[in-house]
C-alpha cells in the first residue's frame, strides 16, 4: 500500500516538471489594484491605437478630400452622346503626327440630308508650305422607303454616290519686285475621271492709310478622262485651259472688300466679267454678293452668308 501510494503521488509531480505553466509575475509590493487596471488600460489603448494607424495607412486616399463638390461645373457633362459616333473614325482615334512633327487636320461638315463632307490635310514641308490632303463626300444611306424615294426624286431618279478627290498644294515666294507669292495646286478626282492643275501669282499693292489692292493672275488646266493604261481600252480625253485676272480692294480694318475680275476659257473663247463685295460682320461671320456674266449671255447674281471657326 505504501509503494502504490508513492507512485500515485510521484506521477503528478513528474507531470508538472515536464509541462510547466507560464509564470505569472506578481505585482510589486505596495501596488494596488487601481495601478494594475491603469497599466492594463494603457496596453489596450496602445493596441487599439496601433490598429487604427494600420487601418489608416492601408485605407485608399480620398481624392475629393480637399474639393468642394458644390463648386464643381457639372455642365461639362451635358453633351449628346450621339455626336461622338458622328465623327470620322480616324479623327476619333486621334490624329497622328506626320513628318517633322506636323499633325493631320480633320474637318467634318454634316448636311441636312444625312450626308457629310469630310476633309483631311497634312503639311509635309514647312519651307514652302507644301501640304497634301483629300476631300470626301459621304452620301446618306436611306433607311426607309420614303427616304429612298425622296433621294431618288432629288437626284433625277438615282441615288447620290459617295466620292472624293486627292490634292497637293504648295505656296512659294514670288520674284522680288514683280509678284509676292506663287501658289500651285494639283487635284485628281477618280470618280469623275477629272484632273486639274492650277497656278496663281499674287502681288499686294499698298495704298494710302490701311487700304491695299491685291492683284492676282491664275492659270488652270482641266482634263476630263483618265489616261489609258497599256493593255486596257482608253477613253478619249479633253482638256480645257482657263485664265483669270482679278483685283481685290481691302478697306482698312472695316472688314469690307470689293473684287473685280474676268475669266476666259478655251471652251468659251471670250472674257466673262464679274464684280463682287464681301463684308465681315462678326467673328467668323461674312456676307458676300456677286454679279457676273455667263457664256450663254445671261447675268448670274448671287448672295451668300457664311460662318467659319477653327478650334
- Confidence grade of residue 166 (pLDDT, cut at 50, 70, 90): very high
- Please tell me whether residues 100 and 147 are part of one structural domain: yes
- Tally of domains within the chain: 2
- Please tell me whether residues 213 and 277 are part of one structural domain: yes
Q: Is residue 21 part of a domain?
A: no
b/e per residue 265-275 (b: at least 16 CB within 10 A): beeeeeebebe
Q: Render pLDDT for 77-105 as a digit per residue (tens, 0 to 9).
A: 665 554 544 544 444 444 444 444 457 88
**Residue span of the structural domain in which 156 resides:** 96-165
More confident residue, 143 or 220: 220
Average pLDDT, the chain: 74
Average pLDDT rounded to a whole number, residues 56-74: 64
Q: Is residue 269 part of a domain?
A: yes
The pairing of strands 285-293 and 238-251 is unpaired
Report the CATH number that the domain containing residue 289 is assigned in CATH.
2.20.200
Taking 60 as the threshold, does the pLDDT of residue 127 lie above it?
yes
- Please tell me whether residues 161 and 206 are part of one structural domain: no
Q: Is residue 183 part of a domain?
A: no
- From the centroid of its chain, how far is CA 212? 36
Q: Is residue 105 part of a domain?
A: yes
- Please tell me whether residues 108 and 161 are part of one structural domain: yes
* 3-state secondary structure at position 301: strand
* 3-state secondary structure at position 285: strand
- Please tell me whether residues 223 and 159 are part of one structural domain: no
Q: Is residue 155 part of a domain?
A: yes
- Please tell me whether residues 213 and 294 are part of one structural domain: yes
- Please tell me whether residues 209 and 297 are part of one structural domain: yes
Q: Render pLDDT for 254-278 as a digit per residue (tens, 0 to 9).
A: 889 999 999 999 988 899 999 999 9
- Confidence grade of residue 169 (pLDDT, cut at 50, 70, 90): very high
C-alpha cell at 174: 514670288
Cβ proximity of 193 and 235 under 8 Å: yes
- Please tell me whether residues 206 and 289 are part of one structural domain: yes
What is d(CA 188, CA 287) in angstroms, rounded to the nearest whole number? 31
What is d(CA 268, CA 225) in angstroms, rounded to the nearest whole number? 20
C-alpha cell at 304: 451668300
Give 285's strand partners.
282, 307
The residue among 117, 142, 165 that closes a domain is 165
The pairing of strands 130-138 and 116-125 is antiparallel
- Please tell me whether residues 221 and 289 are part of one structural domain: yes
- Please tell me whether residues 155 and 105 are part of one structural domain: yes
Q: Is residue 6 part of a domain?
A: no
How high is the pLDDT of residue 39? Answer: 46
**Weakest mean pLDDT among 22-26, 50-54, 239-243:** 22-26
Q: Render pLDDT for 225-244 as a digit per residue (tens, 0 to 9).
A: 876 666 666 677 899 999 99
Taking 50 as the threshold, does the pLDDT of residue 188 lie above it?
yes
The pairing of strands 116-125 and 104-110 is antiparallel
- Confidence grade of residue 302 (pLDDT, cut at 50, 70, 90): very high
Q: Is residue 42 part of a domain?
A: no
The residue among 119, 146, 165 that closes a domain is 165
- Please tell me whether residues 208 and 147 are part of one structural domain: no
C-alpha cell at 267: 471652251
What is d(CA 128, CA 119) in angstroms, rounded to the nearest whole number? 22
Q: Is residue 140 part of a domain?
A: yes
Overall size of the chain counted in residues: 311
- Please tell me whether residues 270 and 208 are part of one structural domain: yes
Average pLDDT rounded to a whole number, residues 202-214: 90
**Half-sphere exposure (Cβ direction) of 151: Cα atoms closer than 13 Å:** 18
Amino acid at each position: 500500500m505504501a509503494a502504490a501510494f508513492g507512485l500515485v503521488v510521484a506521477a503528478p509531480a513528474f507531470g508538472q516538471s515536464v509541462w510547466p505553466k507560464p509564470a505569472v509575475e506578481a505585482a510589486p509590493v505596495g501596488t494596488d489594484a487601481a495601478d494594475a487596471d491603469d497599466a492594463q488600460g494603457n496596453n489596450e489603448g496602445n493596441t487599439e491605437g496601433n490598429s487604427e494607424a494600420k487601418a489608416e495607412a492601408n485605407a485608399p486616399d480620398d481624392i475629393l478630400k480637399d474639393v468642394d463638390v458644390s463648386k464643381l461645373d457639372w455642365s461639362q457633362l451635358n453633351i449628346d452622346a450621339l455626336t461622338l459616333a458622328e465623327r470620322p473614325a480616324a479623327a476619333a482615334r486621334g490624329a497622328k503626327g506626320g513628318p517633322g512633327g506636323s499633325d493631320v487636320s480633320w474637318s467634318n461638315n454634316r448636311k441636312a440630308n444625312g450626308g457629310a463632307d469630310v476633309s483631311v490635310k497634312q503639311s509635309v514641308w514647312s519651307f514652302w508650305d507644301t501640304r497634301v490632303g483629300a476631300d470626301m463626300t459621304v452620301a446618306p444611306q436611306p433607311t426607309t422607303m420614303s427616304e429612298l424615294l425622296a433621294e431618288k426624286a432629288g437626284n433625277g431618279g438615282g441615288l447620290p454616290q459617295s466620292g472624293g478627290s486627292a490634292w497637293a498644294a504648295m505656296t512659294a515666294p514670288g520674284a522680288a519686285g514683280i509678284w509676292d507669292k506663287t501658289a500651285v495646286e494639283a487635284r485628281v478626282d477618280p470618280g469623275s475621271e477629272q484632273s486639274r492643275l492650277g497656278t496663281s501669282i499674287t502681288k499686294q499693292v499698298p495704298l494710302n492709310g490701311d487700304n491695299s489692292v491685291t492683284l492676282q493672275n491664275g492659270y488652270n488646266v482641266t482634263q476630263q478622262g483618265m489616261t489609258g493604261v497599256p493593255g486596257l481600252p482608253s477613253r478619249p480625253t479633253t482638256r480645257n485651259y482657263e485664265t483669270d485676272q482679278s483685283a481685290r480692294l481691302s478697306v482698312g480694318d472695316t472688314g469690307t472688300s470689293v473684287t473685280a475680275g474676268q475669266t476666259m476659257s478655251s471652251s468659251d473663247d471670250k472674257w466673262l466679267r464679274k464684280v463682287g463685295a464681301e463684308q465681315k460682320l462678326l467673328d467668323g461671320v461674312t456676307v458676300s454678293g456677286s454679279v457676273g456674266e455667263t457664256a450663254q449671255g445671261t447675268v448670274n447674281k448671287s448672295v451668300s452668308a457664311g460662318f467659319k471657326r477653327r478650334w
